[in-house]
A = this chain, B = another copy of it.
Amino acid sequence: MRNLKLSEDHFDLKKLNKYATLMTLGNGYMGIRGTHEEDYPIQKRGLFVAGIYNNSSTEEPEEIVNLPDVMGMDLEIDGEVFSSLKGKTISYDRTLHMDRGELTKDVVWEREDGLRLQFTFRRLAAKHDVHVLASKVSIESLNRDVTITVRTGIDAQQTNFGRQHLLEDHVQVHDETYMQGTYTTTRSHQTIGLFSTCTYSKSCDVHFFAENRQLLCESTASLKKNEPFHMEKLNAVYTSIDQKVDELNDIGLAKVKNLSEEGYERILQQSENTWKDFWNERRIEIHSSNPMDQQAIDFAQYHLEIMAPKHNPNLSVAAKGLTGEGYKGHVFWDAEIFVLPYHLYNDPKAAKQLLEYRYNRLPEARERAKANGHEGAQFPWESARTGKEETPAYAAINIKTGERQKVASALAEHHIVADIAYAVLHFYHVTDDEEFMTAKGLTMLEETSKFWLSRTSERDGQLHLLNVIGPDEYTEFIDNNAYTNYMAHHVVKQTLQVLDTFNKLDEEFRKAAEDFLNRLYLPKENADQLIPQDDTFLRKPAIDLSKYKKNQGSQSILLDYSRGEVNEMQILKQADVVMLLYLFPDIFSKEVVEKNFTYYEDKTIHDSSLSKAIHSILAMRCDQEELACQLFQEACLIDLGPNPHSSDEGIHAASLGSIWLAVFSFLNLSFEQEGIKLNPTLPAAWSSFKLPFHYKGRKITVEMNQNTLCIEKVGGDPIDAEIGKQHYRLIDQLEIPLHRDNELHKERT
């Protein structure tokens, strides 16, 4: 499959952890960071299984557990440790093959004394069988006979930045072949079983030993010059989430025995087939003068896929997926607003499961609402295993005062409650899934609406939402945040309609909801056509932000100003009003949209990775195509750009979701009652693009180049399609000639 690669062409000590993140392998069940087999300073290994959380003390929130490592290998050549830091690297290529979900490294390495070896390292996290990790090492000495020793096993010395979450339960080598390490989290009492075995292309002198939380297998072989040696390491991972604890051991052992019979190549073949199906079905194709565009969207799709826990409806997507310890593996609004739409339009079942994760945590959300004096359900700002609020009470330390800064989000970033309801509505509108709505969706909508009804304060007859934080976390504890108020209004309004449609609307709720809708204050544009982000924002002083915009993503503003000071200026981490305009394109006139986009873009540092791509969408809608392209490409660089450390602690899941959102938004797609409205845009740099999506049981593929727009439908009933003000009936395929670039777009009003 063309391209679908991410390569590193030289070893770079400073980018170890960046590439470890980018080159993560995974399958939604688990993620394994793309660290090297061999050890390097500050290299941060990581194996994460979705849903395995623990806290090391009552004072700390639960975090996703960095599990024992099975990928690390010490290689010794005639007693000397192999390391790319030493000797001379003759050739080097490390490539993430997104087409088949395999990470490879090919190195020709020359030792100080002239001994030259060729190494090939390969590994995968199986897509067809989510419990399987496999790796294969090939070694060939190019100019001398050598003795090689490989030391690898199950290493439970891993920690979350020094916090240890696991007790060693049981460590054993079965039949002098199969290694087993079973561990229990210290407080959440989850069990994790790791099972590993090594196989060899020629017989080795093998011995096993256990020490200091490591179970190791040391294999030694003598190799003739030019005699290739292959070693495979096959691993199975099971946990108490997916197995009964007393069966886990047998299941894991049976699996790893089975794997050693199958061998790496067969496992790879099956996994690769599953990946091929995925790409054939889902891949967005772009012909752009900037080859990065295709890579960025491939990369986004790859990571959105490996972070999606499709095997279990009781899990969701963390802000860093399963690629690192950042944000402790917690689930934010990123899941519903930035990641869920991708799945919704590609694999609606996966989107439904993300909603079910929330549904299953309604009891805790109800408890939380009650504890805070509200009604209905208040979902936590940060969610993990239990559905309880997991936002750390204190986050970064103010190192000048030694005070830990309170994290305000849990106290006031209540838009998460509306975001979840928005996603339920979004899901329903795209899928018509009445079963889900009846069983779960309606309850979620009613409960979250009740939260909003009870969340208001009355002033002069109007209802206000006071003391909140919008998506812009540089402005805390303000009143009537535009994003929050409009979102709350939207979800309550839609909930009323949907409950009515399902005949589930009770009179008391209807009256309360209608009162809320009538009286909730919705900030309108002022004399300057500006929509105030909140009651006080536009009265705050503004400063020149160009210095900070240059370092966007680094929160460098906080080196010059305290959080309190930032709070009192027109400084945005990400723009709430732009987010509002993005989600609700039809509330305001184009003129107001343009005015506000320009105004707020100027005040936005983009210190949030959720910001750029959304602004790109707005720029496109405002016909600022050049700015749109620039913002889009900058969004693509959040993970793929040159900054050596921005992704050290994990991928930016929401950013990847929003890259897809941006591309998808170029379709200018909206839905009528039983039809779609398309007005695709072809950015100047793109000569063509092809984008598939699902809509109410149909798979629709839009393909466009400078001459033709082609729409294909597979499955489902025919559907009305309004394309650039022309009306069509999409039965299976439509081919519409175009007269000039972006003609359709230009016609849009």
The interface of chain A, by Cβ under 8 A from chain B, is: 13-14, 38-43, 56-57, 59, 79-81, 83, 85-86, 156-159, 161-164, 167, 170-173, 176, 180, 186, 207-213, 215, 396-397, 399-402, 559
- Tell me the bound Cα distance from A402 to B211 in angstroms: 13
Pair A213/B161 contact, Cβ less than 8 Å:
yes
Pair B173/A212 contact, Cβ less than 8 Å:
no
Contact pick for A162, options B85, B210, B212, CB 8 Å? B212
Pair B14/A57 contact, Cβ less than 8 Å:
no
- Tell me the bound Cα distance from A210 to B38 in angstroms: 28
Contact pick for A399, options B59, B85, B172, CB 8 Å? B172
Question: For A56, what are the chain B residues with a Cβ–Cβ distance below 8 Å?
Answer: 164, 186
Pair A207/B559 contact, Cβ less than 8 Å:
yes
Pair A180/B402 contact, Cβ less than 8 Å:
yes
Nearest residue (CB) in B for A644 is B79
Pair B399/A171 contact, Cβ less than 8 Å:
yes
Question: For A397, what are the chain B residues with a Cβ–Cβ distance below 8 Å?
Answer: 171-172, 210
Among A56, A176, A212, chain B packs the most CB atoms within 10 A around the CB of: A212
**13 A-B pairs (CB sep. < 8 Å):** A14-B79, A38-B41, A41-B43, A56-B186, A57-B167, A158-B162, A161-B212, A163-B164, A172-B402, A207-B559, A210-B399, A211-B396, A215-B399
Known: A83-B85, A210-B397. 10 other contacts (CB 8 A): A14-B80, A38-B41, A86-B86, A159-B159, A161-B212, A172-B399, A173-B399, A208-B399, A210-B399, A215-B399
Pair B176/A400 contact, Cβ less than 8 Å:
yes
Question: For A157, what are the chain B residues with a Cβ–Cβ distance below 8 Å?
Answer: 159, 161-162
Number of copies: 2
**Chain B nearest CB: distance from A2 CB in Å?**
35
Pair B14/A162 contact, Cβ less than 8 Å:
no
**Chain B nearest CB: distance from A333 CB in Å?**
24
Question: For A13, what are the chain B residues with a Cβ–Cβ distance below 8 Å?
Answer: 80-81, 83, 86
- Tell me the bound Cα distance from A80 to B400 in angstroms: 29
Question: For A207, what are the chain B residues with a Cβ–Cβ distance below 8 Å?
Answer: 559
Nearest residue (CB) in B for A396 is B210
Q: A171-B399, A399-B173 are in contact. Are A14 and B164 (CB under 8 A)?
A: no
Among A80, A81, A158, A399, chain B packs the most CB atoms within 10 A around the CB of: A399
- Tell me the bound Cα distance from A466 to B83 in angstroms: 55
**Chain B nearest CB: distance from A88 CB in Å?**
10
Nearest residue (CB) in B for A164 is B164
Question: For A162, what are the chain B residues with a Cβ–Cβ distance below 8 Å?
Answer: 156-159, 164, 212-213
Question: For A180, what are the chain B residues with a Cβ–Cβ distance below 8 Å?
Answer: 402
Pair A159/B170 contact, Cβ less than 8 Å:
no
Question: For A86, what are the chain B residues with a Cβ–Cβ distance below 8 Å?
Answer: 13, 85-86
- Tell me the bound Cα distance from A179 to B332 in angstroms: 34
Nearest residue (CB) in B for A39 is B41
Nearest residue (CB) in B for A162 is B157
**Chain B nearest CB: distance from A154 CB in Å?**
11
Question: For A14, what are the chain B residues with a Cβ–Cβ distance below 8 Å?
Answer: 79-81
Kindly list the 4 A-B residue pairs having the minimum CB-CB distance in the complex, ordered from nearest.
Answer: A172-B402, A39-B41, A85-B85, A157-B162
Question: For A170, what are the chain B residues with a Cβ–Cβ distance below 8 Å?
Answer: 402
Question: For A559, what are the chain B residues with a Cβ–Cβ distance below 8 Å?
Answer: 207
**Chain B nearest CB: distance from A193 CB in Å?**
12
Question: For A210, what are the chain B residues with a Cβ–Cβ distance below 8 Å?
Answer: 396-397, 399
- Tell me the bound Cα distance from A668 to B574 in angstroms: 83
Question: For A80, what are the chain B residues with a Cβ–Cβ distance below 8 Å?
Answer: 13-14
**Chain B nearest CB: distance from A388 CB in Å?**
21
Pair A400/B172 contact, Cβ less than 8 Å:
yes
- Tell me the bound Cα distance from A159 to B212 in angstroms: 12
Question: For A161, what are the chain B residues with a Cβ–Cβ distance below 8 Å?
Answer: 157, 212-213
Pair A39/B42 contact, Cβ less than 8 Å:
yes
**Chain B nearest CB: distance from A92 CB in Å?**
14
Question: For A401, what are the chain B residues with a Cβ–Cβ distance below 8 Å?
Answer: 172
- Tell me the bound Cα distance from A594 to B167 in angstroms: 51
**Chain B nearest CB: distance from A222 CB in Å?**
20
Among A80, A81, A85, chain B packs the most CB atoms within 10 A around the CB of: A85
Nearest residue (CB) in B for A249 is B402
Question: For A43, what are the chain B residues with a Cβ–Cβ distance below 8 Å?
Answer: 41
Pair B171/A402 contact, Cβ less than 8 Å:
yes
- Tell me the bound Cα distance from A43 to B83 in angstroms: 14
**Chain B nearest CB: distance from A488 CB in Å?**
35
Nearest residue (CB) in B for A167 is B57
Nearest residue (CB) in B for A182 is B402
- Tell me the bound Cα distance from A433 to B53 in angstroms: 59
- Tell me the bound Cα distance from A81 to B85 in angstroms: 11
- Tell me the bound Cα distance from A398 to B43 in angstroms: 31
**Chain B nearest CB: distance from A184 CB in Å?**
10
Nearest residue (CB) in B for A186 is B57
Nearest residue (CB) in B for A403 is B172
Among A163, A207, A209, chain B packs the most CB atoms within 10 A around the CB of: A163
**Chain B nearest CB: distance from A499 CB in Å?**
46
Nearest residue (CB) in B for A36 is B41
Q: A38-B41, A159-B159, A173-B400 are in contact. Are A59 and B167 (CB under 8 A)?
A: yes
Question: For A215, what are the chain B residues with a Cβ–Cβ distance below 8 Å?
Answer: 399
- Tell me the bound Cα distance from A374 to B543 in angstroms: 80
Question: For A208, what are the chain B residues with a Cβ–Cβ distance below 8 Å?
Answer: 399
